[in-house]
């Protein structure tokens, strides 16, 4: 069956440019909205005419990143749709060397790793010449992994960085068990991990490692991977490329969070949102989700929930529905409530009469019931969490962590949705419970990275309490020193400025946050 343009309703609105699938097939697109009918007739997934990721120059306006090539989101221009790149974007025994473990990882294809690496900047000290060679055969890792400097950085990622990425470290930490195997099939991811490890190594060891060297390489290859995501016809090939692409962007996002003076995490966050929504929100999903991609999508959702809670005007979030029932874990229900509360607060601010508002969330008793259910769910899943051997004391700490997020989440919800004056006594009680639960943690080093969001929330309630302000600032500083991630510095600056405001002029931190966002100040608490 064919479709002739002359048979279409001339009064129906049309897109200004062909869709990318028709462009690639070299046929004339009918430009129907929201997606073209020619793709539909061929049972092809039409990309439509929505958002795209374009790799533009000069996203950073100052510093060493000025003029670097970075991913940015733009609406597809009706006059410029063909310009730029398009797209809508058990840990083994620690005594075993990382190199040995990597060589045992199953690798279905190393063709992308055998390609010549991009030429680094002239100012960058090149690696040993063996790095530019590729070892033949699927049974070997590319020679890049044999470089001693690379091995050192991978070991640092494995032992120091990956341990602070999940809620709690353990044998099934996907930042090891998923990310490291993916590096054997995605060179852009490998380079991104090296960039993250180098940045973290510099921050914690005070010994400089050239993270920008690996980051720039990763960004160049990521552009190629994005093209493959759009062009691959095989679902297996597309799945593999999407996994590598999403993993790379998540790693780069975390790399930008190590420095306190860097806001490029927002660029990567938008890219994570776009590529996750693009491949998972269709019905049925565009891709079959293998375990690696399911892990990455789950992590993208977690990141999105936290990032959304302290930022404004950021567009559509990643829906909780993308996390399958089989992938639900210790804080899944809690995260869903926080996302719903954030969405409701934003809708209330923009349009109090919006049909999207969940009015039942504005009832304190209903909120308490929802969080009680989430707490019970978290306690259930906590017994399934695998902890590192010899860490039996962590089980009690994990239960306390659930209490911390229970009280701080309820506090955030009261702040966002209830009357400030009416909820005052309840909020102060929740602050006390959160502080008490934090003090009950015995193995603090295992949970420092989990404290920052609850600390920020109780910090927003300490405007009239110097002692509480000192507690929050001290514990956030300790968390940053322990983890090596200094992205909390902007949130501390925000809190200090907020503490100086008067309740008569600034009702709460959400009002102040919007004012700061309008001035161009953004911060992330995760």
DSSP per-residue letters across 461-496: T-TT-HHHHHHHHHHHHHHHHHHS--TTHHHHHHHH
Most confident residue range from 77-86, 149-158, 245-254, 429-438: 429-438
Distances in whole angstroms, Cα of residue 1 to Cα of each of 12, 36, 37, 38, 54:
21, 15, 12, 10, 35
Q: pLDDT value at position 358?
A: 72
Is residue 88 predicted with pLDDT exceeding 50?
no
Residue 495 is encoded by which pair of tokens?
Answer: 């809190």
Alpha helix positions (H), 418-447:
424-440
Phi–psi pair at 14, nearest 5 degrees: -125, 155
| Contact indicator for 362, 423 with CB cutoff of 8 Å | no
Q: Give DSSP secondary structure letters for 265-305.
A: HHHHHHHHHHHHHHHHSSSS-SS---HHHHHHHHHHHHHHH
* Residue count of the chain: 526
Q: What are phi and psi of 239, to 5 degrees?
A: -60, -45
Sequence-ordered strand ranges (E) for 362-410 = none
pLDDT at 113: 27
Using alpha carbons only, give the angle 276, 253, 240 rounded to the nearest 5 degrees.
Answer: 45
Which pLDDT value is given to residue 441? Answer: 95
Tokens of 256: 């930008």
DSSP state of 121: P
Calculate mean pLDDT across residues 33-37: 77
Cα–Cα distance for residue pair 401/447, rounded to 1 Å: 8
Q: Which has more confidence, 385 or 284? A: 385
Q: What is the arithmetic mean of pLDDT over 177-200? A: 92
Q: 69-75 and 51-57 as β-strands: parallel, antiparallel, unpaired?
A: antiparallel
Burial class (CB in 10 A: 0-12, 13-18, 19+), 158: buried
Tens of pLDDT, residues 110-144: 233 223 223 333 333 333 333 333 322 223 345 67
Taking the CA atoms of 212, 150, 189 and 387 in sequence, report the sign of the dihedral they define: negative
Structure pTM?
Answer: 0.74
Mean pLDDT, residues 324-332 taken together: 88
* DSSP H or E segment with residue 237: helix 235-256
Q: Which of 155-164, 204-213, 274-283, 320-329 has the highest mean pLDDT?
A: 155-164
Displacement of CA 327 from its chain's centroid (Å): 17
Q: What is residue 385's DSSP assignment?
A: P
**Contact of 287 with 295, CB cutoff 8 Å:** no
Residue 485 makes CB contacts below 8 A (sequence gap 6+) with 164, 200, 254, 257, 258, 449
Helices 187-205, 211-231: axis angle to 10 degrees equals: 150
Cβ–Cβ < 8 Å for 73, 314? no
- The confidence score (pLDDT) of residue 94 equals 33
Q: Tokens 């015995």 map to which residue?
A: 442
Q: Which one is predicted more confidently, 181 or 324?
A: 181
Predicted local distance difference test score (pLDDT) of residue 39: 78
In which element (H, E) is residue 401 found? helix 394-417
Q: With beta carbons less than 8 A apart as the criterion, state whether 45 and 286 touch.
A: yes
Token pair 């809708």: residue:
347
């Amino acid at each position: 069956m064919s479709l002739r343009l002359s048979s279409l309703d001339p009064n129906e609105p049309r897109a200004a440019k062909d869709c990318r699938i028709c462009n690639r097939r070299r046929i004339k697109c009918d430009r129907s909205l929201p997606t073209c009918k020619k793709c539909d007739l061929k049972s092809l997934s039409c990309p439509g005419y929505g958002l795209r990721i374009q790799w533009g120059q000069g996203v950073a306006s100052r510093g060493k990143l000025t003029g670097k090539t970075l991913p940015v989101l733009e609406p597809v221009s009706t006059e410029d749709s063909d310009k730029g790149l398009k797209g809508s974007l058990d840990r083994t025994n620690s005594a075993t060397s990382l190199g040995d473990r990597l060589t045992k990882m199953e690798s279905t294809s190393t063709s992308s790793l055998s390609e010549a690496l991009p030429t680094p900047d002239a100012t960058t000290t090149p690696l040993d010449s063996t790095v530019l060679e590729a070892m033949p055969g699927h049974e070997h890792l590319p020679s890049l992994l044999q470089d001693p400097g690379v091995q050192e950085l991978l070991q640092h990622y494995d032992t120091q960085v990956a341990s602070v990425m999940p809620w709690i470290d353990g044998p099934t930490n996907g930042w090891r068990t998923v990310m490291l195997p993916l590096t054997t099939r995605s060179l852009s991811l490998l380079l991104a991990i090296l960039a993250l490890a180098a940045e973290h190594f510099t921050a914690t060891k005070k010994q400089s490692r050239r993270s920008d060297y690996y980051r720039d390489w990763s960004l160049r290859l990521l552009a190629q991977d994005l093209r493959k995501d759009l062009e691959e016809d095989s679902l297996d090939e597309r799945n593999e490329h999407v996994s590598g692409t999403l993993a790379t962007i998540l790693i780069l996002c975390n790399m930008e969070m190590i420095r306190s003076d860097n806001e490029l995490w927002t660029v990567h966050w938008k890219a994570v949102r776009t590529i996750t929504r693009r491949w998972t929100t269709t019905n049925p999903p565009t891709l079959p989700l293998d375990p690696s991609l399911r892990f990455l999508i789950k992590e993208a959702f977690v990141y999105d929930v936290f990032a959304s809670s302290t930022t404004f005007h950021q567009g559509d979030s990643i829906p909780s529905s993308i996390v399958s029932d089989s992938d639900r874990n210790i804080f899944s229900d809690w995260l869903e409530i926080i996302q719903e509360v954030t969405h409701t607060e934003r809708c209330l601010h923009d349009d109090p009469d919006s049909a999207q508002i969940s009015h039942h969330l504005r009832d304190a008793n209903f909120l308490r019931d929802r969080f009680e259910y989430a707490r019970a769910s978290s306690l259930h899943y906590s017994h399934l969490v695998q902890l590192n051997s010899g860490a039996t004391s962590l089980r009690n700490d994990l239960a306390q962590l659930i209490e911390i997020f229970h009280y701080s989440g309820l506090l955030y919800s009261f702040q966002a949705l209830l009357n400030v004056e009416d909820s005052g006594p309840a909020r102060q009680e929740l602050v006390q419970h959160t502080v008490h639960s934090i003090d009950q943690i015995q193995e603090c080093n295992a949970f420092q990275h989990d404290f920052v969001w609850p600390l920020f929330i109780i910090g927003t309630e300490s405007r009239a309490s110097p002692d509480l302000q000192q507690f929050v600032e001290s514990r956030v500083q300790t968390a940053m020193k322990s983890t090596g991630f200094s992205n909390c510095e902007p949130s501390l600056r925000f809190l200090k400025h907020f503490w100086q405001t008067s309740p008569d002029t600034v009702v709460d931190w959400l009002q102040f946050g919007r004012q700061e966002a309008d001035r161009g100040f953004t911060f992330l608490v995760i």
